[in-house]
Each structure stands twice: as structure tokens, then as C-alpha cells.
Amino acid sequence: MSKQFAVIGNPIEQSRSPELHHAFAAKTGVQLNYAKRLAPLDGFSASIHDFFSQGGAGMNVTVPFKEQAFAECAVLTERAKIAKAVNTLWMQDGQLHGDNTDGQGLVEAIKALGWTLENAELLIIGAGGATRGVIYPLVQAGVKKIVIANRTLARAEQLIADLKQAVPQAELSAVSLDNLAGNFDIAINATSASLSGDALLLPQALQFKQAYEMAYGKPSSFLDQAKARGVPASEGFGMLVGQAIESFRIWNGVKPNLKDFL
Ligand code: ATR
């Protein structure tokens, strides 16, 4: 019988995870079935326990349940502990295990573009959960300096205070979006501005060589401004595929090649 997987969220209809995992399975010869699972906002815990008690092999977790998934796990990977959010669940030795593959997905997507992370100086705009989830994998990939720019400066400062022990080899600093200036290798938009259709105005004093938008399939004023400056720019589809590949690797022990699915 093929292994059963699912992505759980609310809403869930928009999720592209089933098509990605079925494409990876077809390419690698793994037998699996991957479904969408809508959980009521107050029913996440019951839904995952029901899934695993029926023999489910693994689950991806999406909005708004990643923090709840983190709280449910008996065993967590280092990167999930630092992210304080889990997007990949499986049962092992009767215990619920959790990992967070979003950051590795971003790292692999950036590498697939041919952009360099080793010794890079990065700007990340935004200081929410999306930023928290990617700092540690980016530093593991060799990033030396990260400036976190946020509309609310105190939130960026708090995030750095939380994370700096986890990444002692990197230099982290916070700046308010209004005072943002300097020259960066890669600028990453980790705000939810594109998702909500809001504009994000980049200061003229800011310069960057490459631009990555974590959102995908939405108009992005961040990407528009990068393109207007003639800077190579990418939306976040590669990150989505990258995090799915990393989940697939954890569950099935085989790693599909990202570039085959872009
Ligand atoms: P996520 O989990 O996706 O990171 P979040 O925790 O709600 O979501 O964080 C959203 C981030 O996008 C925050 O950094 C937020 O800035 P504030 O901390 O100042 O609220 C940022 N953000 C959202 N809309 C924005 C906009 N229009 N301009 C600038 N920043 C925006």
C-alpha cells in the first residue's frame, strides 16, 4: 500500500503541496498518496492525531497552524526549535516529530538561481514568523551579515535578541524600514505586504544586487522596484518547491532535484 501524506491548514484549497509531492513521487519512483486536509481553527490537534492514528506517514503544516504544530511535537530538530514553528510532521517510535524546512527551501531556491550565500551580506525585510524561520539555515549556508529591517523597529530588535545565541558566527542588526540604507548582496522580502496587496516603498539610499520575494503568484511592489532598478529578481515559487523537497527527503529518504520542478 502506498504511504499516506497530507497538508493541513485553514484555508487549504490553495495549497500546491499535493501536486508537488506527486510530481516528486513520479520522478523518484516512491509510492505515495498526498491529500489536502482542512482543520477547523480549534481542531488542529484532534485532526493530526486522527491522521497519524490511522497510519498516516507524514504531514505538512501550513497557515495558521505552524506554531501549534511546534507545541504538539515531542521531538524537534534544531532548526524547528529556533524557528518556533513546524511545517513537517512524522511519527517515529510512537512520538510526534517536527521539523521546519522553510529556511532550507529558501537556501536551495537562492542557490538554484546561482546566487551566492557564502560570506554574503543580506537584507531581510520583515520581522515576523517568516523571518524567524529562515535566519538559522541562511547562516548555516554561510551568510555572514544579516540586517533585519522592519516597519516596527522593536520587533526586529526583539527577534535579534532571541536569535543571536543560535547564530554566533553571524552579525545580526536591526533597522527601521524608514532608515534603511546601505549596499547588500541579496534583499529578501519576508513581509506579508504582497500577500495583503500593500505597497512596500524601498528608500533610494538602499542598494542591492539581487532580490528575492518569499511570496509567489501575487503582484509584488518589492519585485517591481527591484526590476525597475535592473536587479535580478525572483518570486518565491522556488522556496515553496525547496521546502517540499526537504520534507520529501525527510519522509522518503530520497531527494528530488529542485531544478527539475521550477
Ligand atoms: P509572517 O509569519 O508571514 O512573517 P507576521 O508575523 O504577521 O507574518 O509578520 C508580518 C511582517 O510583515 C511584519 O514584519 C510586518 O511588519 P510589522 O512588524 O511592522 O507589523 C510586515 N508587514 C506587513 N505589512 C507590511 C507593510 N505594508 N509594510 C511594511 N511591512 C509590513
pLDDT in tens, 201-242: 999 999 999 999 999 999 999 999 999 999 999 999 999 999
Collect all residues with Cβ–Cβ distance below 8 Å to 148 and sequence separation of at least 6. 124, 126, 127, 131, 156, 159, 160, 172, 173, 174, 175
Instruction: Mark whether 163 and 197 lie in a shared domain.
Output: yes
Is the same domain home to 108 and 230?
yes
**Assigned C-alpha cell, 141:** 549556508
What is the C-alpha to C-alpha distance for residues 172 and 190, in angstroms, rounded to an integer? Answer: 16
153 and 82 co-located in one domain: no
Interval 113-148: pLDDT, tens: 999 999 999 999 999 999 999 999 999 999 999 999
Residues 50 and 173 in one domain: no
Is the Cα dihedral 106, 110, 112, 113 positive or negative? positive
State which of 50, 73, 100 marks the end of a domain.
100
139, 68: one domain: no
Say yes or no: 126 and 62 in one domain.
no
The dihedrals phi and psi of 240, each to the nearest 5 degrees, come to -60, -45
Kindly report the protein residue whose alpha carbon is nearest to atom 16 of ligand 1: 151
CB 134 within 8 A of CB 103: yes
Q: Hey, CA dihedral for 110, 122, 195, 206, is it positive or negative?
A: negative
Kindly report the length of the chain.
262
Say whether both 88 and 141 belong to one domain: no
User: Of 123, 151, 194, 200, which is best to mutate to test ligand 1, by the most ligand atoms within 8 angstroms of its C-beta?
Assistant: 151
> Cβ distance 102 to 69 under 8 Å?
no
> Do 77 and 33 share a domain, yes or no?
yes
Question: Does 66 participate in catalysis according to the annotation?
Answer: yes
SS3 state of residue 78: helix
CATH of the domain at 94: 3.40.50.10860
Q: Is 151 in the pocket of ligand 1 (CB under 6 A)?
A: yes
Domain hosting 37: range is 3-100
Sequence-separated (6 or more) residues with CB below 8 Å from residue 46: none
- 60 is a domain residue: yes
Residues 59-80 pLDDT 10s: 999 999 999 999 999 999 999 9
Residue with cell 546561482: 114
- 14 located within any domain: yes
Q: Is 152 near ligand 1, meaning CB less than 6 Å away?
A: yes
Instruction: Report the CATH number that the domain containing residue 157 is assigned in CATH.
Output: 3.40.50.720
Our answer on whether the CB atom of 200 is closer than 6 Å to any ligand 1 atom is yes
Structural domain ending residue among the three candidates 33, 66, 100: 100
What would the pLDDT profile of 167-182 be if each residue is shown by its tens digit? 999 999 999 999 999 9
- Pocket test residue of 191, 221, 239 for ligand 1, highest count of atoms within 8 A of CB: 191
| Same domain for 227 and 108 | yes
Q: Is 150 in the pocket of ligand 1 (CB under 6 A)?
A: yes
Instruction: Indicate whether 118 and 232 sit together in one domain.
Output: yes
Number of folded domains that form the chain: 2
Is 252 inside any structural domain?
no
pLDDT in tens, 89-117: 999 999 999 999 999 999 999 999 999 99
Report the separation in Å between the CA atom of 169 and the middle of ligand 1, taken as the mean of its atom positions: 27
One domain for residues 90 and 158: no
My answer on whether 74 and 198 are in the same domain is: no
Q: Is the pLDDT of residue 1 over 80?
A: no
Domain membership of residue 256 (yes or no) is: no
Q: How does the average pLDDT of the chain come out, rounded? A: 97
SS3 per residue for 61-79: ECCCCHHHHHHHCCEECHH
